Amino acid sequence: MSILHTASQLFQSIMGSSNFPTVRIKSNIDGKMYKVRDMPDKQKAADLMATLRTKLVKLCNALEKKYPDKAQVKMMVKNFRADPERFIEATPDLEHTSSTVNKGETINMCLRQRDGPDESLVDENVLMFVALHEFAHVCTESVGHDSEFWNNFGWLLKEAEGMNLYRYTDFASHPVSYCGVHITDSPRYDPKKDGTNLQIGTLSKKA
């Protein structure tokens, strides 16, 4: 798929022109409105989006206080948009299950399984893993899934686990189905690949 095609799909999801109807629902978690698929369990979907957003906001605020000079954190604070309107349930006609637009401008999350007729909501902890995957893009200078991205992802998982925002899961030993794909690994943070150390960090490329 071309970049233009992917951008067009994301635009359709944001503007509401998807083949799968969406609706704005007020969450019981934070009282905010979220754009989710118009399904019988749309209230639960909105509450899931609110829970994920709340956890990411807590993580971002905590990391900003804990590591104010860390380059990844500075980039995260600069790029992350906590506005609930920017958290959207991804529809099945999007090319990617979940994605982030312009490193945090909009976060599209697939909340439902895509195994045949099964469209049940995904486990919250698995969704948090995926949300942290997208958050790693927000705090990574490079585009794609290079070693810098995976190390930042591992770092976010470690920090979120320490704050009880995420529960570690050994996906290598216990793979899980997620929105038509399988999660089979969980990256681990290596301070040696972080540039200098955990407190300062760097976004520079390695030779």
Question: Is residue 160 scored above 60 in pLDDT?
Answer: yes
- The model's confidence at residue 96, banded by pLDDT at 50, 70 and 90, is low
Asked if residue 30 lies in contact with residue 54, where contact means CB atoms within 8 angstroms, the answer is yes
**Statement: residue 104 has pLDDT above 70:** no
Element spanning 34, H or E? strand 33-37
Q: E strands within 38-197?
A: 87-89, 99-101, 106-109, 176-178, 181-183
pLDDT of 206 = 34
Alpha carbons 103 and 80: distance in angstroms, whole number? 8
Instruction: Pick 50 or 198 by higher pLDDT.
Output: 50
CA distances (Å), 55 to each of 52, 59, 117, 177, 205, in order?
5, 6, 30, 22, 30
pTM of the shown model? 0.81
Predicted confidence at residue 140, as pLDDT, reads: 86
Q: Which residues contact 155 (CB under 8 A, 6 or more apart)?
A: 72, 189, 194, 198
User: How far apart are the C-alpha atoms of 193 and 27, rounded to whole Å?
Assistant: 40
How much is the pLDDT for 9?
43
